[in-house]
Chain A
Amino acid sequence: MPKPTIDLIALGKTFCVLDAEGQSKTISALIDITWSFFPGEVCLLVGSNGSGKTTLLRLMAGSLIPSSGHIQILGKLYHPQRWPSVNIAWIGAEGRGFYGPLNAYENLNFFAQLYGIPEKTCRPRIKTYLEILGLLEKADFPFQTYSHGQRTRLAIVRALVIDSPILLLDEPTEGLDPETRVRLWEILRGESAKAEQKTVIVATHDVSQALPYSDRILALQKGRLIPSSL
């Protein structure tokens, strides 16, 4: 059995929020999650709104610190005071995270270089993925002129260009047309099947369409792992 890419050990996350009366209240977003993700697999994160899918992805990406438990990435215990030491391709749900005045090439170049991909290598990769996801014609336009679906597609291109062993995708099919959705699932399946054996973790409501392309499902309900998860 291969070594897990990500190990979640009794992971928990609580948030302090103010209620309508201004009283501080503690909410448990995730409770005692133990799970392992393996290289070469596509794992679906499913659950209703507010079940903790995005929180779990953010914890693995490093933009949230767990309140309890541990995360191991590629066998190394991930210290909460630091950021993960490996490149993690992450697609957040909000805004998709690009600079409005810059075009697709400028945005993707900046992030690829920041993530350590040399300009020579990333240029052809950017072009290839832009073409696959049907954004080549739009690539010279500023990001702020992109539609919702185009923004999502660009975020997917970035996640693929970064060439990370771990892809964390939060609702990547949101706003995409049916044809592009299928193409995306095929791409993700292809990424996991590559020689590098990437781990692809996708939070989605689009379960019926994603099922044929996935290996396992991690189902969450009110922050807890549902025992029937495969």
Chain B
Amino acid sequence: MTPLRPSRFRIITYFIQRDFQIRARFLKGWALEIFLALGELALLYFFNRWLVSSGSTMKNNYGISYFWFVISGLITNQLCSAAHNGVLQNIRMERASGTLEFIFIGRCSYSSFLIGSLLGPWLMALIKVSLLAIAALFLLSASIQWSQIPWVMFGFLCMTLVFASVGAIVAGISLRSGWGEGFEQLFLTLSWFLGGVYFPISVFPAPLRQFCATLPLTQGLDFIRMSWFVPVDPHILLSRALILLLWTIFFTAGARWIFGVMIQRCREEGAFNFF
């Protein structure tokens, strides 16, 4: 008699456990990642302090508010990259090691597989950004809106799902064609440069600014920064959250659909284990 299929929740925990077991073999690399992230933070802090004490007119543009503007961008960047790369690298690893077809022959659903692939690396990134945020708070206090923190969490969750979806779409496309990497580069380059991670989108000319404003990363970052540092009317937060939620639903549903279609194509073409 065939054993019962484990619940979706259990399958996800197996993937997380496996991910941590694999990553435990590369702890030095992970520790170095944290060290570098903290180093980046320290550089930013000393640059900020130097500017403020130098009496330069630039200090008006690069004061404490700029420090926190970048920190929130960096934290979002870390979580989104972990989500995107985590899903993508896991699927690539599964394919290269020949385990991908074993997982699906084992009746694991696509959603459980994708969520399982996402959560391990994302939890590792969460530990990293928590350290980053604590260190940043220790260095320079900010006027954080503690009552709006649940909204910030919601923003991070949505952005994570959007970027994980992109990872799943790229992985799906890469399974059967060479276009996946191109799509990935296009999306990431547009997002990181035009999404307001390192500088506000207001510096762009008007037509580009309008385009940037529609990008999910811009929407997400704007929402996170707004709810993190500025007291905002809950109605405004709600309407912005709704837009973000719609982006998230669009991307996650699209990713699930594209991934499923691509796996079916792989099954038609027998392309599971070759590149």
Our pick among A83, A100, A163, A196 for the contact of B104 (Cβ within 8 Å) is A83
- A85 to B2 alpha-carbon distance, docked (Å): 9
Query: B105 on the interface (CB 8 Å rule)?
Result: yes
Query: A199 on the interface (CB 8 Å rule)?
Result: no
Query: B99 on the interface (CB 8 Å rule)?
Result: yes
A residues within 8 A CB of B267?
Answer: 62-65, 80
A residues within 8 A CB of B25?
Answer: 101, 142
Our pick among A15, A83, A100, A116 for the contact of B6 (Cβ within 8 Å) is A116
Query: A20 on the interface (CB 8 Å rule)?
Result: no
Residue of B nearest to A144 (CB): B97
- A92 to B11 alpha-carbon distance, docked (Å): 23
B residues within 8 A CB of A84?
Answer: 105, 107
A residues within 8 A CB of B99?
Answer: 97-99
- A115 to B103 alpha-carbon distance, docked (Å): 9
A residues within 8 A CB of B17?
Answer: 110
Residue of A nearest to B101 (CB): A63
Query: B108 on the interface (CB 8 Å rule)?
Result: yes
Query: A78-119 interface mask toward B, CB cutoff 8 Å, 1 = contact, 0 = none?
Result: 001101111110101011111111100010001101111100
- A123 to B4 alpha-carbon distance, docked (Å): 18
Q: How far is the CB of A30 from chain B (nearest CB, A)?
A: 12
Our pick among B22, B93, B106 for the contact of A111 (Cβ within 8 Å) is B106
Chain B interface category by residue count: 20 to 34
Q: How far is the CB of A174 from chain B (nearest CB, A)?
A: 15
Are B5's CB and A97's CB within 8 A?
no
Chain A interfacial residues counted at CB < 8 A:
41
Are A65's CB and B106's CB within 8 A?
no
Query: B248-275 interface mask toward A, CB cutoff 8 Å, 1 = contact, 0 = none?
Result: 0000000000000000100111101100
Are A95's CB and B2's CB within 8 A?
no
Q: How far is the CB of A172 from chain B (nearest CB, A)?
A: 15
Are B105's CB and A88's CB within 8 A?
yes
Are A113's CB and B14's CB within 8 A?
yes
Q: How far is the CB of A133 from chain B (nearest CB, A)?
A: 19
Q: How far is the CB of B98 from chain A (nearest CB, A)?
A: 4
Residue of B18, B106, B264, B269 ringed by the most chain A CB atoms within 10 A: B106
Q: How far is the CB of B274 from chain A (nearest CB, A)?
A: 8
Our pick among B3, B22, B93 for the contact of A115 (Cβ within 8 Å) is B3
Query: B21 on the interface (CB 8 Å rule)?
Result: yes
Q: Which residues of B contact A (CB under 8 A)?
A: 1-6, 10-11, 14, 17-18, 21-22, 25-26, 93, 97-99, 101-108, 264, 267-270, 272-273
Q: Show 26 A/B contacts (Cβ-Cβ < 8 Å), sorted by A.
A: A61-B101, A62-B104, A63-B105, A63-B267, A63-B272, A83-B107, A87-B107, A94-B98, A95-B98, A97-B97, A97-B99, A97-B102, A98-B97, A98-B98, A99-B97, A99-B99, A101-B21, A101-B22, A102-B18, A111-B102, A114-B11, A114-B108, A116-B2, A116-B3, A116-B6, A164-B2
14 additional A-B pairs beyond A84-B107, A95-B97, A97-B99, beta carbons within 8 Å, are A15-B270, A62-B105, A63-B272, A65-B267, A65-B268, A81-B264, A83-B104, A90-B101, A92-B101, A95-B273, A101-B22, A114-B11, A114-B14, A163-B3
